[in-house]
Amino acid sequence: MITAKSVSKSYGDALVVDDVTITLPARGITSIIGPNGAGKSTLLSMMARLVGMDAGHVTIDGLDVVTTPSEALARRLAILRQDNHMTARLTVHDLVTFGRYPYSRGRPTEEDAVHVARALDYLGLTDLSGRFLDELSGGQRQRAFVAMVLCQDTDYVLLDEPLNNLDMKHAASMMRLWRDACRDFGKTVVIVLHDINFASWYSDHIVAMRQGRICRQGTPDEIIRTDALRDIYDMQIDVREIGGRRVCLFYE
Q: Which residues of this protein are in contact with another protein, per CB under 8 A?
A: 48-50, 69-75, 77-81, 84-91, 93-95, 98-99, 101-102, 105-107, 129-132, 149, 152
CB of 220 to another protein, least distance (A): 28
DSSP annotation of 132 reads B
CB of 204 to another protein, least distance (A): 23
Nearest Cα to Cα of residue 79 among 11, 154, 13, 138:
154
| CA pair distance 93, 127, nearest whole angstrom | 10
Percent helix, strand and coil across the chain, each to the nearest 5: 35, 30, 35
Q: Which is nearer to another protein, 48 or 196 (CB)?
A: 48
Q: Which is nearer to another protein, 22 or 116 (CB)?
A: 116
CB of 70 to another protein, least distance (A): 5
| CA pair distance 220, 113, nearest whole angstrom | 39
Q: Which is nearer to another protein, 30 or 129 (CB)?
A: 129
Q: Which is nearer to another protein, 156 or 233 (CB)?
A: 156
CB of 152 to another protein, least distance (A): 7
CB of 99 to another protein, least distance (A): 8
Helix (H, G, I), strand (E, B) or coil at 19: strand
Nearest Cα to Cα of residue 194 among 33, 2, 25:
33
For 1, 2, 6, 49, 75, the CA distances from 62, given in Å and listed in that order, are 8, 8, 16, 15, 14
CB of 23 to another protein, least distance (A): 22
CB of 49 to another protein, least distance (A): 6
| CA pair distance 2, 156, nearest whole angstrom | 9
Q: Which is nearer to another protein, 50 or 247 (CB)?
A: 50
Q: Which is nearer to another protein, 69 or 243 (CB)?
A: 69
With b for 16 or more beta-carbon neighbours within 10 A and e for fewer, the 178-215 pattern comes to: bbebbeeeebbbbbbbebbebbbbbbbbbbbbbebbbe
Q: Which is nearer to another protein, 94 or 195 (CB)?
A: 94
For 8, 27, 31, 76, 121, the CA distances from 190, given in Å and listed in that order, are 19, 10, 6, 13, 24
Nearest Cα to Cα of residue 234 among 35, 20, 16, 15:
35
